[in-house]
């Protein structure tokens, strides 16, 4: 199992990395890396956890994940379609410690501010075009394309990916522990999950684990679990129209329909029957 910090492999003198991920799933272990990540989802959909927040991503999304911000992708494999992601990695100091402080680049400052918590924008024709040119571009051309992408992202309407960022970097031990907990939770959220089982996975006592998780995510483990279940339920409500609300609740880990309705409204601010009529996830 990969542990934090996850180090992006790169040539010693290369400041900007372009990477393509193509397969059934994206890298699905909780990890962090020094580089800021700008990813364009060319194909695929699924769940993305960034910091303390569970997000849904789909084809056309542009995802920005700040440096050292813990995150994990969980690709949706139900349709068995391959996922395809195009990504740029770089640090704010990659081109010199003063480069992005130049007066000519001051309009990019908002990008770096927003990237601290991560953010995403929906399908954007200009971004799609620029990413399509990256594969066949030279290193210099990729750098020029990056600046144009940053300019667009600085001005685009966006949605934060996380509302809370743990101030300290995870150690390798912490990374291994949180990765194991996240992996178990994402693979078993539709089952009955006990605090005893999760504490064993984290190799901690129940009380110690509860404090540990809350400190690093700003929410209790079971609140996180409920939000993960609700995110899955929201996707089913919009995509599996043949399922009843009770069936959606059961498939998402809720055995009590009243509790499901209550928890769904807390997270989505709508009851499931109302949410099912909406068009946007």
Domains (ranges, CATH) in the chain? Answer: 17-160 (2.60.120.280), 189-275 (1.10.10.60)
60 CB-near residues (< 8 Å, 6+ apart): 41, 122, 123, 124, 128
- Average pLDDT rounded to a whole number, residues 2-15: 61
Residues in the chain: 281
State residue 175's pLDDT score.
Answer: 85
What percent of the chain shows pLDDT beyond 70?
94
Closest CA to 72 of 4, 168, 173: 4
- Average pLDDT rounded to a whole number, residues 152-167: 91
Sign of the alpha-carbon dihedral angle for 264, 268, 269, 273:
negative
Q: Please give the full DSSP string across 92-133, using - where no structure is assigned.
A: TTTT-TTGGGSGGGGGGHHHHHHHTS-EEE---HHHHHHHHH
Confidence of residue 11 (pLDDT cuts 50, 70, 90): low
Least trusted range by pLDDT, from 119-123, 133-137, 146-150, 196-200: 119-123
Q: What is the pLDDT of residues 46-58, one digit of tens each?
A: 999 998 899 999 9
- Cα distances (angstroms) measured from residue 127 to each of 58, 112, 130, 131, 150: 15, 18, 5, 6, 10
pLDDT > 50? residue 70 = yes
State residue 279's pLDDT score.
Answer: 56
What percent of the chain shows pLDDT beyond 90?
77
pTM, entire model: 0.88
Cα 150 from Cα 260, distance rounded (Å): 41
State residue 156's pLDDT score.
Answer: 94
Higher-confidence residue of 280 and 277: namely 277
Cα 35 from Cα 31, distance rounded (Å): 12
Higher-confidence residue of 122 and 61: namely 61
């Amino acid at each position: 199992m990969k542990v934090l910090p996850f180090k992006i492999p790169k040539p010693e003198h290369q400041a900007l990395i372009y990477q393509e991920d193509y397969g059934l799933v994206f890298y699905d272990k909780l990890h962090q890396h020094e580089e800021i990540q700008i990813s364009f989802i060319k194909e695929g959909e699924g769940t993305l956890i960034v910091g303390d927040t569970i997000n849904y991503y789909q084809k056309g999304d542009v995802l920005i994940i700040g440096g050292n911000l813990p995150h994990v992708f969980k690709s949706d494999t139900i349709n068995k379609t391959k996922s395809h992601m195009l990504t740029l990695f770089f640090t704010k100091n990659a081109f010199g410690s003063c480069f992005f402080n130049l007066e000519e680049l001051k309009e990019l400052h908002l990008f770096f501010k927003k990237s601290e918590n991560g953010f995403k924008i929906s399908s954007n024709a200009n971004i799609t075009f620029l990413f399509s040119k990256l594969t066949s571009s030279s290193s210099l051309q990729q750098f020029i394309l990056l600046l144009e992408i940053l300019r667009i992202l600085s001005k685009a309407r966006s949605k934060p990916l996380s509302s809370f960022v743990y101030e300290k970097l995870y150690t390798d031990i912490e990374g291994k522990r949180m990765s194991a907990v996240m992996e178990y939770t994402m693979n078993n959220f539709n089952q009955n999950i006990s605090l005893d089982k999760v504490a064993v996975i984290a190799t901690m006592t129940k009380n110690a684990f509860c404090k540990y998780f809350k400190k690093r995510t700003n929410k209790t483990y079971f609140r996180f679990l409920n939000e993960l279940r609700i995110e899955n339920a929201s996707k089913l409500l919009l995509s599996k129209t043949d399922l009843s609300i009770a069936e959606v609740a059961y498939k998402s880990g809720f055995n009590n329909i009243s509790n499901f309705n209550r928890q769904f409204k807390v997270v989505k601010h709508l009851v499931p029957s109302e949410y099912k009529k909406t068009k946007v996830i």
